[in-house]
Amino acid sequence: MTPLRIILWDIDGTLLHSGGAGERAIVLATQALYGEEIPLQELDYRGRTDSLIVRQIFSRLNIPWSEENVTRYKECYLRHLAEEISRSSGATYRGVEPLLSTIQRMPDWCQGLLTGNFEGGAKIKLEHFGLGHFFSFGTFGDQSDCRNELARSALQLVRKRWGEALSPRQLFLIGDTPHDILCAKAIGAYSVAVATGGYSLSELAAFRPTMLLPDLEQFEPVLALVKGRW
C-alpha cells in the first residue's frame, strides 16, 4: 500500500535524550584515538549531523579528513556509545511512545527517521529505548554533513520506494531544532517543532514551523495536522 502520510522523526531531543551518553562517547573516542580532550561547549552540535561534528573535531585537532580516519573514529565512537548508553540516565520523552504507536496503527501512514546520527548510533539508541521497531527506513548522518541534504535524500528515498508522484506535502518532519524546521522547508514538507531539546518555544518560533509544541504529551494536534494536510 502506498502511504498517504509519511512522518519523519529526529532522534535526540525529539524522541529521547541519552543522558549525555552521546557526548561522553565523543569525548572518550577522541581521547582514545588522539589523546586529546575535546571541550564540547566549544562544538556546535545541537541539530548537527554526526559527520559535521566529527569534521569540527578533526579541524580543531588538525586530523586529515579521510575515509580511513572517519571510519576509525566512527567505530571507536560507536563502541563507547554502546557502553555509555547502557549505564545512562536517558529516557524517551513524554507522549513519544503513545504517538508512535498511534501512527503505527494508521493503515496509510508510515514512519521513518531523518536524523543526524550515524546509522549505527541511531540503532544503538533506538534499540536501547525499545523504539527501533517503529521505523522501517531512514536517512542518517553518515550520508552528509548537511541536514538539508539528508532531507533531500529522504524525499528521494520515499519516492523510490513509493513512486515519483509522491508529494513533499505528504511528508511531516518532527524535530527539536531550527535545523529540523529548515530542512523541512528545503524540500517543501511540513514541520512539527517540539521544545524538548535545547531550544525554547520562542527560539523555535522564529523559524516559523508548521506547528510548534512544548512537547508531545498532548499529541492530538499532531494527528490533526497530519490528517488535515495534503
pLDDT tens figures, 170-185? 999 999 999 999 999 9
For residue 125, what are the CA distances in angstroms to 164, 207, 218? 32, 28, 24
d(CA 214, CA 222): 12
The pairs formed by 223-226 with CB atoms below 8 angstroms and a separation of 24 or more are 223/99, 223/102, 223/103, 225/172, 225/190, 225/192, 226/5, 226/7, 226/103, 226/109, 226/172
> Which residues share a beta bridge with 92?
16
71-111 residue pLDDT tens: 999 999 999 999 999 998 999 999 999 999 999 999 999 99
Burial of 43 (0-12, 13-18, 19+ CB in 10 A): middle
CA–CA separation, 75 and 73 (whole Å): 6
Site of grid cell 528545503: 186
CB distance 144 to 53 below 8 Å: no
Task: Report the CATH fold assignment for 5-18+91-228.
Answer: Rossmann fold (3.40.50)
Prediction pTM value:
0.95
Task: Kindly report, residue by residue over 5-14, the tens digit of the pLDDT.
Answer: 999 999 999 9
- pLDDT tens digit sequence for 18-30: 999 999 999 999 9
Residue 47, pLDDT above cutoff 80: no
